Structure 1
Amino acid sequence: MIFRIATENDVSTIVKMIAHDGLGKKREHFKNPIPDEYLKAFEKIDSDENQELIVVENENSEIIGTLQLSFIQYLTYRGGIRAQIEAVRIRKDKRGLGIGKTMFEWAIQRAKERKAHLLQLTTDKKRPKAIKFYEELGFKASHEGMKIHFE
């Protein structure tokens, strides 16, 4: 597998993967051509040195996965950096093949390369299989996350 920084040409494929699950279908708007709001978001992500939008390609140069790493500077932990992993998706026909584990191993190593003191994630409580998967990778439910959505 090849891990690389996403380009603007990858945005449509990434959004399609993000929108292709039960929760994503409710909040994303995938269509061709891709809505402009996704391209504008990509431009912001791509221009921020603390954001890495990653695509994973197979041996045929097909995008089979994606994830986003954010590196967050803190004053705590002696001015430490936290890595946040979000929007991890694997193409539907490639799930269950160990790709997710490889992606997380890569992300853990990348966070260490960037001198992060931890890698954190949030996951919806409606995803029990995902929670079990993260626990098997060594993630621990150490905090209770809370959100407020603005409309």
Structure 2
Amino acid sequence: MTDLTVRRARREDVTALVALIAADQLGAGRETPDDPAPYLAAFAAIDADPNQYLAVAELNGEPIGTLQLTYLPGLSHRGGWRAQIEAVRIAEAHRGSGLGSALIEWAIGRARERGCRMVQLTSNATRDDAHRFYTRLGFVPSHVGFKLPL
């Protein structure tokens, strides 16, 4: 695992990152990696926002994982910032190797560096393996989430 590096995504990474997102049961049904335009537009907005960090996890120079870290200001928790982790993906061939844990630990470290008071994430209700993974890392299920598609 010593060869794992995490860095800010670049425009040329978008195709590989979208492939990671589309390579699971949920992503396969909602992503269209053959049309890069919406992903490149989203990347431009993410990259321009100082409160967003789209991460690429590389092993020996190959992108094997990603996550998006968003820094959120708020009035609650005495005006404390929080970090939101989204879109965590590790290539299937590398799952169970400890690389996902290393990527999440990296994100927690970044949140601490930014002075965040907490790290939060959501996970689709059908992702039982992911729920066990996050619990092992110390995350506690604390809220019920709701979504309204527009």
Pick the TM interval, shorter chain: over 0.9
Give the 3-state SS of the residue equivalent to 1:85 in structure 2: strand
- 1:21 equivalent in alignment to 2:14: no
Residues 9-60 of structure 1 show CA distances to partners (whole Å, capped at 9, x for unaligned) of 00000000000000001111112xx42010000000000000000001112x
Superposition deviation, residue 79 in structure 1: 1.6
RMSD: 0.9
Q: Which residue of 2 aligns with 1:136?
A: 136
Give the 3-state SS of the residue equivalent to 1:23 in structure 2: helix
TM normalised by structure 1 equals 0.94
Superposition deviation, residue 147 in structure 1: 1.1
Aligned residues: 147
Q: Give, in whole Å, the separation in 2 of the partners of 1:92 and 1:13.
A: 14
Kept after mapping to 1: 8 A contact 2:53/2:69: yes
106-115 vs 5-14, which moves further: 106-115
Q: Which residue of 2 aligns with 1:149?
A: 149
Q: Which residue of 2 aligns with 1:110?
A: 110
Q: Where in structure 2 are the equivalents of 1:29-108 lying within 5 Å? A: 29-31=32-34, 34-59=35-60, 61-108=61-108
- 1:10 equivalent in alignment to 2:1: no
Q: Give, in whole Å, the separation in 2 of the partners of 1:137 and 1:127.
A: 16
Deviating 4+ runs (over 4 angstroms): none
TM normalised by structure 2 equals 0.95
What stretches of structure 1 of length at least 5 have no aligned partner? none
Q: Give, in whole Å, the separation in 1 of the partners of 2:46 and 2:36.
A: 16
Kept after mapping to 1: 8 A contact 2:51/2:71: yes
Instruction: Give aligned-pair identity as a percent.
Output: 48
Letter in 2 for 1:58: L
100-109 vs 45-54, which moves further: 100-109
Letter in 2 for 1:36: A
Kept after mapping to 1: 8 A contact 2:15/2:36: no
Superposition deviation, residue 144 in structure 1: 1.0
Give the 3-state SS of the residue equivalent to 1:145 in structure 2: coil
Letter in 2 for 1:93: A
Give the 3-state SS of the residue equivalent to 2:117 in structure 1: strand
Letter in 1 for 2:78: R
